[in-house]
Amino acid sequence: MKKQRKNKKDKFWAGSGKFFLVVILIYLAVYAGNKIFDISNERSDFYKRSNIEIVQNRMVSVEKILRIGGFTSKKDNEIKINIDSLATRLMELKYIKGISITRRPPRILNITVEEYDPVAFIYGKGLNLIDGDGFLIPIPESKIIWDLPFISGIKQGLGRLGHQTDAADAYLALEIVRYLEDENPLLASMVSEINLSNSRTIELHLIKGGTKIRVNRESFYKELFVLKNYIANYLDWGQLAKIDYIDLRFKNQLIVKAKT
């Protein structure tokens, strides 16, 4: 009896059973393919140029974002856009930190751009920008007037654009920028350059009259705090242009050298 049942089973898989299995597998493959296609289509739709809203962009122009989206010609009025593909391409730009793309009826596409926020210019294989976390940003094509200090004198390699810098001195300069913005905004607005070419000294150059401020690398927090009190209580801003440098590197001394 057992042998008879086994023979029937073998005959089933040798004949119609194998055919049914192949049909089921083909059906499942087609079903999965259609599902993937449907999901992809859900993320794609046709949009008119006038129905695409782009917000919070400063360094990347609206036209550049539209070109990346597929509007390669001004004659293109309506094109099919895949949201995931567009987000991926935009994130390749070295100015962009994050992207949010949302749709709302009837067919409005909103693109919210989160760009890196530069805090200074920095020089290394050309002039670039740097944000507060050390990300290196190329100078954008858009004509923006940047009121930012210039970090100079860094001898270490900065690294690649669109990535965080490898240079320890760049982070030191960013600490100074952050400290001045938090503790002495008036002085921060007057600093045109942070020079780190000296291995022991940091030199700040001011816009007004080119006055220089010298502090030690190892104790610049303490010395800039002393400078803050000096500015608040003793400095005559009208006379600043007549000062060559203010030196705070020596213990219990603040040296003010007038221009000759």
Residue 213 CB-density burial (10 A; 0-12 exposed, 13-18 middle, 19+ buried)? buried
Q: Where in the chain is the domain with CATH 3.40.50.11690?
A: 118-258
- Topology annotation, domain 118-258: Rossmann fold (3.40.50)
pTM of this structure? 0.77
Q: Two tokens at 36?
A: 């993937």
Determine the pLDDT at residue 37: 40
Ranges of CATH 3.10.20.310 domains, the chain? 44-115
Task: Say what the pLDDT of residue 232 is.
Answer: 87
Q: What is the pLDDT along the chain (260 residues), one digit of tens a residue?
A: 544 555 555 554 555 556 556 566 665 655 454 444 443 444 578 999 999 999 999 999 999 999 999 998 878 888 899 999 999 999 999 999 999 999 988 889 999 999 999 999 998 778 999 999 999 999 988 778 889 999 999 999 999 999 999 999 999 999 999 999 999 998 899 999 999 999 999 999 998 788 999 999 999 999 999 999 998 898 887 888 899 999 999 998 999 999 98
The fold for domain 44-115 equals Ubiquitin-like (UB roll) (3.10.20)
Provide the pLDDT for residue 112. 97
Q: What is the pLDDT of residue 96?
A: 95
Looking at residue 2, what is its pLDDT? 47
The reported pLDDT for the residue numbered 28 is 60
Q: What's 223-243 look like in SS3?
A: HHHHHHHHHHHCCCHHHHHHE
Contact 110, 53 (CB under 8 A): yes
The answer to whether the Cα torsion of 81, 84, 87, 89 is positive or negative is negative
